[in-house]
Amino acid sequence: MTHSSLPWRTASVMALLAFLLIACLGALSDSASAAVPGLQRAARSTPAGSPAAIDRPVSCPTGTKMLSGGGSVVGGAGRVILDGIRLDAPLNTVTTRAFEQANGTNLNWTLNAFAMCAQPLKGLVQVNATSADNSFGKSVVATCPTGKKVVGLGAETDGGIGRVELDDLIPAGDHVTATGFETETGTTDNWTITAHAMCANPVPGLEIRSLASDFGSFDGGGVSETCSAGKKVLGVGGEITGGLGQVSMDSVTPNASLTSVNVDAHEDANGTDNSWNLTAYAICATP
């Protein structure tokens, strides 16, 4: 009896070990699929009013690090310029900045700041690049270190004071391009534009999606791009084509559920007959 039961006991032990092994592998698989653990959106708004200029910072929760920034002006109707989405070097704060255009406005408007935050990604670093200091429209590129990929981005101008607008904020695989143009009134002051690239070791499911609106000449327009199924927004970008300094991008924002990116723009007070369009960029990955 004793000897005849040994094969059964051995088989039972082997089955138990196999079950435990499968369970462990499943747990490891679930852990590996969490490419960006703790991913969340932090947001902060100013009270409605008509200030000449304002900054609005928002910080990531304790235990998380900043991956990207976003911002929006609500109620400016083309009379307020989203001047910057600054990513601060400690990797935990996004500061948006807006100026009323040279002629000002009596409209009440609100400035919103957004930060995409998560537990620290492997190899996370911030790379900044600043343009030449002059009075011309210009672009600048911030490039990630070798082997790292863009997971988030931001940009800011310095010296424009309501006469320079952020025209393009474009992510690519390993770099970010930021472009600024002077408004219709122009300026003789020198100014710069800085591109911020948040770079990290590649994460599973990382993708950059883009969607462009139709061309036209209209007072305001918008476009939204959505992540692939099961993925979430890490970073946001936007681009104006054809605005020639007469169209201001006043919203580059992730939605509350971090599934899509919305980009909005308005023509300035004088409008333009030129056709223009918007492109929304969404950097997405497995959450």
Tell which CATH architecture fits domain 35-285.
Sandwich (2.60)
As a whole number, mean pLDDT of residues 132-159 equals: 96
Higher pLDDT, 135 or 23: 135
CA–CA distance from 3 to each of 7, 9, 16, 75, 124 (Å)?
Answer: 8, 10, 21, 85, 60
DSSP assignment string, 5-67: HHHHHHHHHHHHHHHHHHHHHHHHHHHHH-SSTT-EEEEEEPPSB--SEEEEEEEPPTT-EEE
In percent, the amount of the chain with pLDDT more than 90 equals 65
Rounded CA-CA distance 263/247 in Å is: 13
Residue 172, sorted as left (phi over 0), alpha (psi -120 to 50) or beta, turns out to be beta
Domain boundaries defined on the chain: 1-33, 35-285
77 DSSP β-pair partners: none
Classify each residue of 198-233 as buried b or exposed e, where b means 16 or more C-beta atoms within 10 Å of its C-beta.
Answer: bbbebbebbebbbbebeeeeeeebebbbbbeeebbb
- Worst-scoring range by mean pLDDT, 43-52, 83-92, 141-150, 254-263? 43-52
In percent, the amount of the chain with pLDDT more than 70 equals 88
Residue 12 has what pLDDT? 53
Whether the predicted pLDDT of 75 surpasses 80: yes
Tokens at residue 41, please? Answer: 């959106």
Rounded CA-CA distance 184/246 in Å is: 6
Residue 34 has what pLDDT? 56
Whether the predicted pLDDT of 32 surpasses 50: no
Sheet containing strand 192-200, edge to edge, reads 53-59, 93-100, 80-87, 149-158, 192-200, 125-130
- pTM exceeds 0.95 for this model: no
Residue 24 C-alpha from the chain's centroid: 36
Confidence class for position 274, pLDDT limits 50, 70, 90 = confident
What is the pLDDT of the chain when averaged over all its residues?
87
Residues in the chain: 287
